[in-house]
Amino acid sequence: MNKRLVTTTLALTIGLSTFATAPIMMDPVTVSAATITQQSQNVVEKKADDIINLAKSLIGKATYASKYNDETLQFRCASFIAYIFERNGLDLGNRDEAYMVHQGTYVPRNQLQKGDLVFFRNNPSSKNPNHVGLYIGENKIIHMANTELDVVISDLDSTSYYRDNYMTARRVIPALLPSNPATKGDNIAELSYNLMNKVTMGNTNNEKAMQFTSTGFVKYVYGKNGADLKGNYVKDLMNLGEKVARKDLQKGDLIFFSTSVGSSTPSRVAIYTGEHRILVLSSEGISSRVLLSDYYDQRYITAKRVFKDENKIVQPPVISKTEDKIVDYTLSIMNNVKHQLNVYDEKSLTFTNAGFTYYIFKQHGVDLKTKVAKQQSEKGVQVPKDKLQKGDLIFLKQSGGSTIKYAAIYIGNNEYVYLSDSGSVVKESLESNWSKSNFVTAKRVL
């Protein structure tokens, strides 16, 4: 497999659509940052065009195969996406749509931009997508479709497959690029990527031969960036710096893993490079992986920040409405939520249907008072179906029934999500036959 090329292009690691749609409080600092953002948006658009152009050039050349092969241009949908990103200097760290769907930031369907990843699933109750394509503008995606079509450009409204199986979209390009100006974490990540195909693993450290132990490799990279790490073993590095919560990881943080599940003894150290990605030295050389994979997720011990980044930009504050926050939060956790009767467990995200809506609103300071759908429907102000806004509650009956059974959250674009009896959170269109037959009422509680 070809190793990742490293881009030296500079761009802010933020979701650019946020700045385009949300009000910004302007002061001298944020005016400067906003100017940098606009410059970075041009860079992001150029990078998206480069990726799209490469994808188009592979029409008629790349073919569908269950196992990818870069040399013969054989791919599945996700490995095709990873390949065209890698060839343009952007590392996704994986070739699996189930991991890609957790990278970047959520994008509503009506706000898609070139370079966004678009995901589909055949089964609406499935937590993971089974197909991914690259948005190229004008309601179209380019993707590795199947064994008959190979790489093809498709309109999102052209067939029932794209209309009915659309799952979500993610904006990944901005977050995969360095900040502007580059932070120390960016520089550490860039040097680590540049050393792929150059560094091998050994029992001793030999800078001239570019051969290191895993600890020696980390010390070398950080030393080149002004951070002198003390110690010769993984456990020595784990005693350095400040502990970082997994949700607060930043580029350049060190992550420690055990050999066996459940052990607290570190045996491996990796460099965090953003968007769940890590670089780790093994007998295979430097490899790019994602923390989302079972192997690393189950063996994760802790993370440490061993340097201070004085070059980090303070971003302008973004004011988000409560309804936007509710929708974004709902979509961010929907794949982790489980359904179980008579259970309300915030720690494991296991709820009844209306327990789920109760939990979501509770996280945003809104007390629905009850975890029963029928009783929730008695709250707030009734909203006509054609006047729905993000964050409104929708109530539905069960097929063949007459009383309210389900509470759902309207997410915009004529869609809503609810915790299904099947066990997971499902996204549904108000125009589906099921919705039309079972819609009872909608309420605004915000």
Question: Confidence band (pLDDT; 50, 70, 90) for 311?
Answer: low
In CATH, what class is 322-444?
Answer: alpha beta
Question: Burial letters for 400-430: b for 16+ Cβ neighbours within 10 Å, e otherwise?
Answer: eeeebbbbbbbbbebbbbbbbeeebbbbbbb
Residue 318 has pLDDT above 80, yes or no: no
Please name the amino acid found at residue 179: S
Question: Confidence band (pLDDT; 50, 70, 90) for 446?
Answer: confident
The arithmetic mean of pLDDT across residues 72-91, rounded, is 97
The answer for 210, left when phi > 0, alpha when psi is -120 to 50, beta otherwise, is left
Residue 243 has pLDDT above 80, yes or no: yes
Q: Which helix (H) or strand (E) holds 161?
A: helix 160-165
pLDDT at 310: 58
pLDDT at 143: 98
Q: Which fold has domain 16-176?
A: endopeptidase fold (from Nostoc punctiforme) (3.90.1720)
Question: Confidence band (pLDDT; 50, 70, 90) for 308?
Answer: confident
Residue 25 has pLDDT above 90, yes or no: no
Q: How far apart (Å, rounded) are the C-alpha atoms in residues 348 and 341?
A: 14
pLDDT at 68: 94
pLDDT at 288: 95
Residue 21 has pLDDT above 70, yes or no: no
Residue 190 has pLDDT above 90, yes or no: yes
Q: What phi, psi does 193 have (nearest 5°)? A: -65, -40
Q: How far apart (Å, rounded) are the C-alpha atoms in residues 253 and 243?
A: 10
What is the value of pTM for the model shown?
Answer: 0.64
Lowest mean pLDDT of 89-103, 292-306, 316-330, 352-366, name the range.
Answer: 316-330
Helix axes 322-333, 353-362, angle to 10 degrees: 130
Q: Which residue in this structure is represented by tokens 């946020």?
A: 18
The arithmetic mean of pLDDT across residues 115-143, rounded, is 93
pLDDT digits 0-9 by tens, 396-410: 998 888 899 999 999
pLDDT at 317: 44
More confident residue, 315 or 210: 210
- Identical fold for domains 16-176 and 322-444, yes or no, is yes
Lowest mean pLDDT of 6-10, 136-140, 207-211, 288-292, name the range.
Answer: 6-10
pLDDT at 29: 30
- DSSP summary character for residue 288: E
pLDDT digits 0-9 by tens, 35-45: 333 337 889 99
The per-residue DSSP string of 209-243 comes to TTEE-HHHHHHHHHHTTT-----SSHHHHHTSSEE
Q: Is the dihedral of CA 81, 82, 87, 89 positive or negative?
A: positive
Q: Can you give the residue ranges of every domain in the chain?
A: 16-176, 184-305, 322-444
> 248 in helix, strand or coil?
helix
- DSSP summary character for residue 279: E
pLDDT digits 0-9 by tens, 256-272: 999 999 999 999 999 99
184-305 placed in CATH 3.40.50.1820:
no
Are the C-beta atoms of residues 327 and 412 closer than 8 Å to each other?
yes
